[in-house]
Structure 1
Amino acid sequence: MPLDGLFTHALVHELNTLLTGGRITKVHQPYPNEIILVVRNNGTNYPLLLSAHPTYARAQITHIPYENPRTAPNFVMFLRRYLEGAKLQKIEQVANDRIINFYVNSRNELGDIEPIRLTLEMMGRHSNLFLVRETDARILELIKHVPADQNRVRSLMPGATYQMPPAQDRQNPFTIGFDNLAPMILDQSTSDWPQIIQSTYQGFSRDAAQALAAAIQAPGDPLQHASDWLSHFDAPTPTLFTSDKGALSYAAFAWQQPAATTSHFDTLGDMLDAYYIGKAERERVNQQAGSLVRVVKNELKKNVAKRQKLLATLSDAENADALKVMGDLLITYPHLVEKGMTSVAIENYYDNNNLLTIPLDPKLNGLKNAEKYFNKYRKLRTAVAYVNEQMALTDAEIDYFNNIVAQLDVASPKDVEDIRLELTTGGYLRANKKNKQKPKVSQPDRFTSSDGTLIEVGKNNLQNERLSLKQADRRDIWLHVQKIPGSHVVIHDAQPSDTTLIEAAKLAAYFSKARDSANVPVDYLPAGKLRKPNGAKPGFVIFEGQQTLFVTPDPNLITTLKTS
């Protein structure tokens, strides 16, 4: 189901149970439209994600690791001023809408208690997060500033008075119940019931309306069925559905889904983590890496075009001897050529005196045309060595950028900055002169094998180089897919078990361009046998004496072995 008003009701119920009365200890903004509040309650730290993302807006307790930017954005600095150290008084949903209010008691500059409200509106592309002063409903700050010319219904700028989004004339089922439902639907076709439910009651998505319509069609009292169905949102059993085609969907409880397998979770937050871990991370990477993708694709396109030109030059060089023959014949029989001629047929004494037609420059005589062919011949002969050298460099660039493409496909948001740094250092991107902080390479992803062995996976060239050539012990086992762009994987054990070796090989296969393939060859050997050639790009190594495993990538293994 989409995150509608009903699901929001269940979320607020869960958040109230776990967070109300807790104290906000930290505020982070790891991504442009998302805030993390660390709330400590009953001796436990709960990372509360408040997302105003246009596609993935939500509120949940999340355990997906995140990387904070090196410089805190202005919005998070504003939130820290008002929220850090404040006690979370209560969490409320506005009617049955996709709006959640988080109430805290903050202290102003004079030390007086000041009631503050953090309001999350989850409205698709209109989603936003507001910090509002309760006493006068003044917007202190918001995560997305919207100019008046883009929203004439209400002002969405700091200093304005907070106004609710336009209300819809629908009833809240949690307060009014379903007593008026039966008269509306009994005389209607059952196929119309979902639409009637959706247009009458607030907070129903199409999926939820269809689920309720199916529930009240069961034998027995329809009103009792409707009440029982609604009560599930006060005691949810979070359920993730996987269709036969692999598509994911979720619900607050296990209502009927055709041709789908179900997975159950302890909390709605855990379920949303499982649902969004791929989708939201991919979107975050796409947002951060948009400029990088354009640069990489342009460089690939440029080098592929260059390679075609070099191949054409080599093809011409193979015909250089034919140019020499034409020059020899023209210099032997110059009298056969007159200015204005575009071609001439001459007996080729190199080929049993067969006639050879030679194209001519009509502005030149026979000797000058011969000289022109000799010049072309000499240029092509001397160009071969240079072209072969350029061909090798161009092929290396194509391999390099194909490797970057593969890394962007499996990158997490923290990896994107490493790739940006690498491209900037390589001269493919302009350096940001305003940012004078020394760049810091992020840590490789860490996994723990079934028998407790640490496995690290480099997600970009800078991580790969540091992991493989600097951090790994020379006896540690290093793995990489065979002849395909992919991550460097290191098992921090000189003699890993067969189980650990296979799990690490599956990680190497998954974090590579062969992640959707079966029976992927993965090379492995001690890290001490790796060598980096002089002048090679970051992450490039050569080796020999490797052994090879054949494995099939397993996406479920990533979640199972991942270390927080």
Structure 2
Amino acid sequence: MAFDGIVTHAVAHELNETIAGGRITKVRQPTKQDMTLTIRAGRVNHTLLLSVNSQFARVHLTEDSYEQPAEPPMFCMMLRKHLDGAFLRRVEQAGMERMLTLVIDGRNDLGDPAEKHVHIEIMGKHANILLVDPSENRILDAIKHLPPSVNSFRTILPGQPYIGPPAQDKLNPLTVAKDDILRKLDANQGRIDRQLVHNFSGISPLVAGEITHRAGLGRIERTAETFLDMMQEIQAHTYNPCIAENDGKEYFSAVLLTRYGKDAADAESISRLLDKFYSGKAERDRVKQRAHDLERLLKNEWEKNERKITKLEETQKQAEATKEAQKYGELLTAHMHLIQQGMTEVEVMDYYDEESPYIKIALDEAKTPSENAQSYFSKYTKAKNSERYTAEQIEATKAESAYLERLLQQLDAASPEDVAEIREELEEEGYVKQKTAKKKRKKQKAPVLDAYESSEGIQLFVGKNNKQNEYLSMRYARQSDTWLHTKDIPGSHVLIRAEDFSEETLQEAAVLAAYFSKARESSSVPVDYTLIRHVRKPKGAKPGFVTYDNQKTIFVTPDSAEIQQLKNNTKKENETS
């Protein structure tokens, strides 16, 4: 990935073309690192995402929706005070750096016009969003505070003067001439692409590699000409947003990555491309942050259960071996006349064996013959009871391990909203301590199911955690609905909300079941389907666990593009209605 100066330039141009002059109607902060501004421009509401996520820092228009916290953070409240109802005059980029400024026309407490600046610094782990009063060059607040003890060059605290990041003393690639480029490049000083990154602002290693690839091997003059050709396209705002893959890694850029075989743009705008590239990745990162402790807990519990099963199976083998004690007790009883107290062993005929061989049986010299026989009978009884107990424990522990494995799979496919339901379930099951003593609970709301729509317009529903699965299968479904689940693989419950449907709809529902399962990365995944009336929950079973019969099996291969299309079908239906 490369959110470089060129991508930033493309974003700034798109924002000026799309939302400049628009009115800010909503200011929200869904996470500690993300802000969204709803801006109404051209009679359309646009959502502008500002993210300072250390791995996914970015700015672009988005179509994704974000869950809002119950109480907005202080920085969000400060932005609302100064930006709510204000107008976005323009978006400025600092040279070709990864820094944007939203120039806002608002009003102060007295109702007089007051300009405010929102600086977005898109710089990896140093990314930040700052609200600044330009009349005094004073910081009003920032999403990340940096005291002098952390950063001696610039203090980022309310009331402090705004100082930009340290200058890198690089040339602006949009204003240089061919001679400027030639003076900075030296064929004898190593790789040309690294020299481009070192000398020109906004040029990432990805773009530098693309320039040298287009120039080919040869004279430095050819590299300079290729560089200028690309910069002329950028100056003319001729962008070709694309996503390319190489060695299992994905890259995006505002220019065509011909070195990776790209010959056409993948999106009509840079924001659509960034939305496509970051959407799932950023959500997975948010889930990882929220669910890190749960994932560690579940893995520890699962590993503990696996060790317990191993020990129980060893105990079971020992109990199996001790079953010989019954035979020894009966042989001693039959040969009691041969035994005297004080003997350490006795040789008797084993009439349980067809060949009736003589075997030696160990004795306790302190016990009478009768007590020795009784001792072997006691060992047998103990082994028999132990075998029954360990068998029950193994079955229960394996069931719990399967339950934990289902939860781990659900966390892997969970949205941030799903994590809260999984955490609540673990509290109810006693795996996680409740942080505070809960008051008398209000009537719980029904879980929100993940909705999709098949190609023929039939509703498909997916339960992405045990609470949703149980609600979908035991309460929401109608008797005539069709239920799907991966065969012998942890995964989601899927419902076809119709009595009559085509083979294509069945195939699409099966793809959903395979995709939201542990077999997401596999091919030819077996998916069982049956009418919901054949699905039952055993008494006392863990949440989300069911049994079913009268099923048929279909084999499908999960496809993320098909999943997105099924989700898009739902969005189109909502827009139409």
* TM > 0.5 fold call: yes
Matched, 1:2 2:2: yes
Matched, 1:252 2:254: yes
Offset of 1:336 from its aligned partner?
6.3
CA distance, structure 1, for counterparts of residue 374 and residue 110 of structure 2:
93
Offset of 1:303 from its aligned partner?
1.5
Letter in 1 for 2:358: N
Point out the more displaced range, 100-109 or 218-227.
Answer: 218-227
Matched residue count: 556
Question: SS at 1:464's partner residue?
Answer: helix
Task: Tell me, yes or no, if the aligned pair for 2:242 and 2:257 is still in contact at 8 Å.
Answer: no
Matched, 1:524 2:525: no
Matched, 1:480 2:480: no
Alpha carbons of structure 1 residues 334 and 507: separation in structure 2 relative to 1, 3 Å: same
Point out the more displaced range, 53-62 or 429-438.
Answer: 429-438
| Residue 188 (structure 1) aligns with | 187
Letter in 2 for 1:275: F
Which runs of 5 or more structure 1 residues have no equivalent in the other structure? 339-343
Matched, 1:381 2:380: no
Matched, 1:511 2:510: no
Offset of 1:71 from its aligned partner?
3.9
Offset of 1:536 from its aligned partner?
1.9
Task: Tell me, yes or no, if the aligned pair for 2:339 and 2:346 is still in contact at 8 Å.
Answer: no
Task: Tell me, yes or no, if the aligned pair for 1:242 and 1:262 is still in contact at 8 Å.
Answer: no
Task: Tell me, yes or no, if the aligned pair for 1:243 and 1:260 is still in contact at 8 Å.
Answer: no
Letter in 2 for 1:416: V
Q: Describe the superposition over 1:142-196 as per-residue Cα deviations: whole angstroms up to 9, x where unpaired.
A: 22233443323322333333221111111222244554113443x6259633233
Task: Tell me, yes or no, if the aligned pair for 1:410 and 1:511 is still in contact at 8 Å.
Answer: yes
Summarize the alignment of residues 174-323 of structure 1 with structure 2, pairs less than 5 Å apart. Answer: 174-185=174-185, 188=187, 192-215=191-214, 225-234=226-235, 235-243=237-245, 246-259=248-261, 264-323=266-325
| Residue 107 (structure 2) aligns with | 107
| Residue 496 (structure 2) aligns with | 491
Letter in 1 for 2:205: R
Letter in 1 for 2:557: T
CA distance, structure 2, for counterparts of residue 58 and residue 359 of structure 1:
80
Letter in 2 for 1:58: R
Question: SS at 1:204's partner residue?
Answer: coil
Summarize the alignment of residues 62-77 of structure 1 with structure 2, pairs less than 5 Å apart. Answer: 62-77=62-77
| Residue 54 (structure 2) aligns with | 54
CA distance, structure 2, for counterparts of residue 373 and residue 69 of structure 1:
67
Question: SS at 1:468's partner residue?
Answer: helix
Summarize the alignment of residues 80-479 of structure 1 with structure 2, pairs less than 5 Å apart. Answer: 80-185=80-185, 188=187, 192-215=191-214, 225-234=226-235, 235-243=237-245, 246-259=248-261, 264-325=266-327, 335=340, 337=342, 344-350=344-350, 352=356, 354-356=358-360, 358=362, 374-433=377-436, 443-479=448-484
TM-score (normalised: structure 1): 0.90
Question: SS at 1:306's partner residue?
Answer: helix
Question: SS at 1:155's partner residue?
Answer: coil
Offset of 1:61 from its aligned partner?
0.8
Percent identity between the aligned chains? 38
Letter in 1 for 2:412: D
Task: Tell me, yes or no, if the aligned pair for 1:330 and 1:366 is still in contact at 8 Å.
Answer: no
| Residue 575 (structure 2) aligns with | none
Offset of 1:372 from its aligned partner?
5.9
Question: SS at 2:259's partner residue?
Answer: coil
| Residue 548 (structure 1) aligns with | 553
Offset of 1:334 from its aligned partner?
7.1
CA distance, structure 2, for counterparts of residue 164 and residue 244 of structure 1:
35
Letter in 1 for 2:509: A
Task: Tell me, yes or no, if the aligned pair for 1:408 and 1:416 is still in contact at 8 Å.
Answer: yes
CA distance, structure 2, for counterparts of residue 99 and residue 244 of structure 1:
28
Point out the more displaced range, 113-122 or 230-239.
Answer: 230-239
Alpha carbons of structure 1 residues 261 and 445: separation in structure 2 relative to 1, 3 Å: farther
CA distance, structure 2, for counterparts of residue 73 and residue 165 of structure 1:
25
Alpha carbons of structure 1 residues 448 and 369: separation in structure 2 relative to 1, 3 Å: same
Which runs of 5 or more structure 2 residues have no equivalent in the other structure? 572-577
Task: Tell me, yes or no, if the aligned pair for 2:10 and 2:239 is still in contact at 8 Å.
Answer: no
Task: Tell me, yes or no, if the aligned pair for 1:240 and 1:275 is still in contact at 8 Å.
Answer: no
Task: Tell me, yes or no, if the aligned pair for 1:414 and 1:442 is still in contact at 8 Å.
Answer: no
| Residue 341 (structure 1) aligns with | none
Offset of 1:486 from its aligned partner?
0.7
Offset of 1:27 from its aligned partner?
2.1
Letter in 1 for 2:29: Q
